[in-house]
Amino acid sequence: MFSRANIFTLPNILTLIRALIAPFVAIGIATEHFVQALALLVVGGLTDIFDGWLARLTKRDNQLGAYLDPIADKLLILACYAGLPFVGLMPFWLSFLIIGRDVLIVGGFALLQILQAPIRVLPTKISKITTVFQIATAFYLLLPMAVTLSPIPQLVHALFITTVLLTIASAVVYIMIGWRAFSNR
CATH of the domain at 63: 1.20.120
What's the rounded mean pLDDT across residues 7-11? 79
The Cα–Cα gap between 54 and 123 comes to 16
**Secondary element (H or E) of residue 81:** helix 63-83
Better-predicted residue by pLDDT, 185 or 86: 86
The identity of residue 170, as a single letter, is: S
What 8-state DSSP symbol labels residue 31?
Answer: T
pLDDT digits (tens, 9 = 90+) for 89-99: 999 999 999 99
Domain count, the chain: 1
Q: For the chain, percent helix, then strand, then coil, each to nearest 5?
A: 80, 0, 20
Burial of 161 (0-12, 13-18, 19+ CB in 10 A): exposed
Q: pTM of this prediction?
A: 0.87
Decide if pLDDT at 9 tops 90.
no
pLDDT digits (tens, 9 = 90+) for 112-145: 888 887 777 678 899 989 999 999 999 999 999 9
The Cα–Cα gap between 76 and 82 comes to 10
pLDDT score, position 119:
76
What's the rounded mean pLDDT across residues 18-26? 96
Q: Domain of residue 109: give its range.
A: 4-183
